[in-house]
Amino acid sequence: MMADAVLSVEDLIVQYDTASGPARAVDRVSFTLGQGERLGLIGESGSGKTTMGTALMRLTRAPGRIVGGRVMLGGTDIMALSQRDLRAVRLRDIAMIPQGAMSSLNPVLRIRVQIEDAIHAHEGRLPKPEMAARIATLLTRVGLDPVVADRFPHELSGGMKQRTVMAIATALSPKVIVADEPTSALDVVVQRQVMQTLGRLQSGLGAAVVLIGHDMGLIAQFADTVGVMYAGRLVEIGPVAQMIAAPRHPYTRLLIDSLPGIDAKRRLTGIPGLPPRLTDMPPGCAFAPRCPLATASCTASIPALQTVASGHRAACHLYPGLPALPPLTAKAAP
Amino acid sequence: MSSELLRYVLRRVIQLVLVIFVAVSVNFLIPRLLPGDPVATSLARLQTAGGGTAIDIEAISRTYSERYGLDQPLFTQYLNYWADLLRLDLGVSFANFPEQVTTMILRALPWSVGLLGAATLFSFVVGSWLGARLAWPGAGRVIRTVVPGMMVLAAVPFYLLAIILVYIFAVELRWFPPAGGVQTTTIMRFDWPTIRDILHHAVLPFAAISLGNIGFWALGMRSQTVSVLGEDYITFAEAKGLSPHRVFFWYGIRNAFLPQITALALSLGAVVSGAILVEVIFNYPGLGTLLYTAIRGQDYYVIQGVVLVLIVTLAVMLFIVDLIYPLLDPRIRR
Ligand SMILES: Nc1ncnc2c1ncn2[C@@H]1O[C@H](COP(=O)(O)OP(=O)(O)OP(=O)(O)O)[C@@H](O)[C@H]1O
Ligand SMILES: [Mg+2]
């Protein structure tokens, strides 16, 4: 574990109790986040990114359940906190920009009230002028006109709502910000602006950010470290440059290849097959049924995350046998 | 008040005036569209039924011809009708000749407003509250057992519940009087014995209306609350570290309550008609019983008067709901 880790997650397991049995949407995920680090988490829809992000602040709700693992935020064990202490930690130490930021604002309250609420909960009542000044600063910081404070959410555009949510999430200068697909519902131009704002906020506050998304291109531009999730498991994590230039997990390779490049002539390659159902996981590696390099050992046991290069870990049985990922066209030698 | 809000209010006022105008006109037209002369028919029937003194009947007949000019053209009658109405003259009762219908209605109205108004408001507020508590995580054992029972009662018609209550608490246990609004021997004064007597008589009809109604409103509020619970703004409110109390009231109930108000507006008619039956069963001296007696006795102008009052009351209540709604939901203010 890094010495200056602000967030460390160990063997986190989150399970949904469904009619067809328990579904492990997050299965023994471990990673650490250094101070001011930008971690990008990608994975297909349903791979458990949101479930993981919400579990970090124990916002998991039934039928979801945190079954095991530890989340250490600085020196505090999130899983051991009382409800009251947990509320104190939320927003102040770890904040979230939820996946549905467009619908994350209460439709019947003015923006001002929704920001005040957050500050009141942690700092008690402030004198009115002080509060007003604070709100104006927060809104200006995310590129909004302070008059937005007196509007209702339905009077704002999607980008403005997204920025408002960012203003609230950063109101108390948290150490960790979990941003769950903050740009998914925005057009490309606004997407860029919002990402720039997030980047500015991050460096201004020195906060560590977990940026969740499924757009590898967007994540690569923002993150220092990239983690890849597949069927609830973290299958690879490493520095962004290495992850793109030399990914070690076959799934990561295929994910990068399926990126639409600038070069329009390149044929788009999808990943054949579908992710497994969480209630009916294949034995061994979850990706084995779709993996062009799968061997007998892949279905025998679940590969553990192992270091494949400095700061770069992958969960694949190819290692430590091979120095790098072989081409995916042919089956690897057994 | 913004001009937008002003326009909204103005539109509702015009709507109210229109509804009342149409209701009054229909109330005027329907008896006159019926074949034959309603007054003559009624009087004739009264005569044969009661074998009453011929002088009386003729006196009534003459009064009507003069007072209402029934031989005049329809449009003149219509204008006269309006003129009488504006003087609060709704005609004269046949059964209690020469008592004014207005006097009879004014006498019955306080009883109905007191009983139906209080019971409806009470069950709306209590039912909504219980429904919200039931849906919210952490509902107590009492709520989880009592409220579903109430919901079952919602399926039982008012009058059936009334009959059961009368049997148990008035006939068998003799805790409450089975009928009436007040002891016949009580002299109505504004003192404690009178008030106590009135309340004592009101308990059973109040319970008959409330018991089923509470379940009805709890049912609606529960499903609204469940859907609000799934909204992103609830998750975000929790991520802000707000107290459960704050989240429940200002993010949960505040939103879940809006459709309840619409439902209240829509079901006011049903609520009133159901409650009228309860009045009849308890022989409560309100509008319901007055209407019922009038229908049985073919007391023409009384029926017309009560129906008019009911329609206007409903229109006014809808108007009030329409005015309250935009105060609670900023998205409607236009
Ligand atoms: N309330 C729930 N009940 C049962 N299963 C759920 C529930 N919420 C999520 N899941 C399951 O958990 C898995 C992970 O869901 P999650 O929302 O975390 O995925 P995600 O990676 O965030 O996807 P996306 O990119 O679409 O946002 C999915 O397979 C989903 O079906
Ligand atoms: Mg998600």
Query: In this predicted structure, what is the pLDDT of residue B327?
Result: 85
Q: What is the pLDDT of residues A158-170, one digit of tens each?
A: 889 999 999 999 9
C-alpha distances in angstroms, A167 versus A90, A115, B258? 15, 8, 28
- Asked if B84 has any chain A CB less than 8 Å from its own CB, the reply is no
Smallest CA-to-CA distance from B293 within B269, B310, B276, B309 is with B276
Residues in chain B with CB shorter than 8 Å from the CB of A101 are: 232
Residue B199: φ, ψ to 5°: -65, -40
For the CA of A53, the closest atom of ligand 1 is 18
d(CA A322, CA A297): 15
- Work out whether the CA dihedral B142, B270, B125, A114 comes out positive or negative: positive
| Tokens linked to A318 | 């190819």
Smallest CA-to-CA distance from B309 within B327, B328, B286 is with B286
Percentage of residues in chain B having pLDDT higher than 90: 18
For residue B289, count CB atoms less than 10 angstroms from its CB and return exposed for 0-12, middle for 13-18, buried for 19 or more: buried
d(CA B39, CA B299): 10
| Residue at token pair 């409650």 | B275
Restricting to B residues 180-219, those with a Cβ less than 8 Å away from any Cβ of A are: none
Beta A208-213 vs A38-42: how paired, if at all? parallel
What is the nearest CA distance from A272 to chain B, expressed in angstroms?
33
CA A331 to chain centre: 32
SS3 call for A69:
strand
Query: In this predicted structure, what is the pLDDT of residue A72?
Result: 93
Residue B69 confidence (pLDDT) above 80:
no
Is A99 within 8 Å of B232 when comparing Cβ atoms? yes
DSSP class of residue A38?
A: E
Residue B310 confidence (pLDDT) above 50:
yes
d(CA A13, CA A211): 20
d(CA A50, ligand 2 centre) in Å: 4
Query: In this predicted structure, what is the pLDDT of residue B300?
Result: 77
Residue B80 confidence (pLDDT) above 90:
no
Query: In this predicted structure, what is the pLDDT of residue A333?
Result: 41
Query: In this predicted structure, what is the pLDDT of residue A264?
Result: 52
Q: What is the pLDDT of residues B34-62, one digit of tens each?
A: 665 656 666 666 666 655 555 566 677 66
Query: In this predicted structure, what is the pLDDT of residue B131?
Result: 92
- Residues B284, B272: contact at Cβ < 8 Å? no
Residue A210: φ, ψ to 5°: -105, 110
Strand-pairing partners, residue A227, are A41, A237
Residues in chain A with CB shorter than 8 Å from the CB of B250 are: 106, 109, 117
For the CA of A277, the closest atom of ligand 1 is 29
d(CA B298, CA A99): 66
- Residues A163, A197: contact at Cβ < 8 Å? yes
What is the nearest CA distance from B210 to chain A, expressed in angstroms?
30
- Residues A235, A312: contact at Cβ < 8 Å? no
- Residues A32, A186: contact at Cβ < 8 Å? no
* A106, A114, A168: best to mutate for the B interface, most B CBs within 10 A: A106
Question: Can the peptide bond before residue B35 be classed as cis, meaning omega within 30 degrees of 0?
Answer: no
Alpha helices in chain B (DSSP H): 3-33, 38-50, 54-68, 74-86, 101-112, 118-135, 141-153, 158-165, 192-229, 232-239, 244-246, 254-281, 287-296, 300-328
DSSP class of residue B330?
A: G
d(CA A209, CA A212): 9
- Asked if B89 has any chain A CB less than 8 Å from its own CB, the reply is no
| Tokens linked to A163 | 């920025």
Contacts of B96 (CB under 8 A, 6+ apart): B104, B299
- Residues B151, B215: contact at Cβ < 8 Å? yes
What is the nearest CA distance from B139 to chain A, expressed in angstroms?
14
B223-255 burial by CB neighbour count: b if 16+ within 10 A, else e? ebbeebbebbbbbbbbbbbbeeebbbebbbbbb
d(CA A130, CA A146): 14
Which amino acid residue places its CA nearest to atom 22 of ligand 1? Answer: A50
For the CA of A49, the closest atom of ligand 1 is 21
Residue B301: φ, ψ to 5°: -70, -25
Residues in chain A with CB shorter than 8 Å from the CB of B255 are: 106-108
Strand-pairing partners, residue A29, are A12
**Nearest ligand, measured from the Cα of A43:** 1
| Tokens linked to B75 | 């449009």
d(CA A208, CA A205): 9
Of B235, B243, B258, the CB nearest to A59: B235
Which amino acid residue places its CA nearest to atom 1 of ligand 1? Answer: A63
Task: Please give the CATH architecture assigned to the domain spanning B104-298.
Answer: Orthogonal Bundle (1.10)
- Residues A220, A244: contact at Cβ < 8 Å? yes
Q: To test the ligand 1 pocket, which listed residue (A15, A18, A20, A47) has its Cβ within 8 A of the most ligand atoms?
A: A47
pTM, rounded to two decimals: 0.83
CA angle in degrees (0–180, nearest 5) for B204-B206-B211: 95
Q: How does pLDDT run along chain A (334 residues), one tens digit per residue?
A: 445 789 999 999 999 998 988 999 999 999 999 998 999 999 988 899 999 999 999 999 888 999 999 999 988 999 999 999 999 999 999 999 988 778 999 999 999 999 999 999 999 888 999 999 999 999 998 889 999 999 999 999 988 999 999 999 999 999 999 999 888 777 888 888 888 888 988 888 889 999 998 888 888 889 999 999 999 999 999 999 999 888 999 999 888 887 765 555 555 667 888 889 998 899 989 998 998 888 888 998 899 999 988 889 999 998 888 888 888 764 444 4
A54 lines ligand 1 (CB under 6 A): no
SS3 call for A162:
helix
For the CA of A181, the closest atom of ligand 1 is 27
B34-69 burial by CB neighbour count: b if 16+ within 10 A, else e? eeeebbeebbeebbeeeeeeeeebeebbeebeeebe
Is B239 within 8 Å of A91 when comparing Cβ atoms? yes
- Residues A19, A190: contact at Cβ < 8 Å? no
Residues in chain A with CB shorter than 8 Å from the CB of B331 are: 107, 152, 154
**Nearest ligand, measured from the Cα of A41:** 1
Smallest CA-to-CA distance from B247 within B255, A100, A56 is with B255
Q: What is the pLDDT of residues B232-279, one digit of tens each?
A: 999 999 999 999 989 999 999 999 999 999 888 877 777 777 777 888
Query: In this predicted structure, what is the pLDDT of residue A105?
Result: 95
d(CA B223, ligand 2 centre) in Å: 25
Query: In this predicted structure, what is the pLDDT of residue A321?
Result: 83
- Residues A121, B243: contact at Cβ < 8 Å? yes
- Asked if A84 has any chain B CB less than 8 Å from its own CB, the reply is no
Nearest residue of B to residue A95 by CA position? B239
Q: What is the pLDDT of residues B216-230, one digit of tens each?
A: 999 999 999 999 988
- Which pairs count as long-range contacts for A315-323, CB under 8 Å and 24+ apart, including other chains? A315/A233, A315/A234, A315/A235, A315/A236, A315/A249, A315/A285, A316/A235, A316/A236, A316/A248, A316/A249, A316/A250, A316/A285, A317/A285, A318/A248, A318/A250, A318/A293, A319/A248
For residues B64, B66, B71, B72, the Cα torsion angle rounded to the nearest 10 degrees is -120
For residues A148, A149, A153, A159, the Cα torsion angle rounded to the nearest 10 degrees is 40
| Residue at token pair 């694949």 | A316
| Tokens linked to B189 | 């004064």
* A96, A108, A180: best to mutate for the B interface, most B CBs within 10 A: A108
In terms of residues, how long is chain B?
334
Is A92 within 8 Å of B250 when comparing Cβ atoms? no
For the CA of A54, the closest atom of ligand 1 is 18
d(CA A214, CA B75): 74
d(CA B201, CA B313): 25
Question: Can the peptide bond before residue A63 be classed as cis, meaning omega within 30 degrees of 0?
Answer: yes
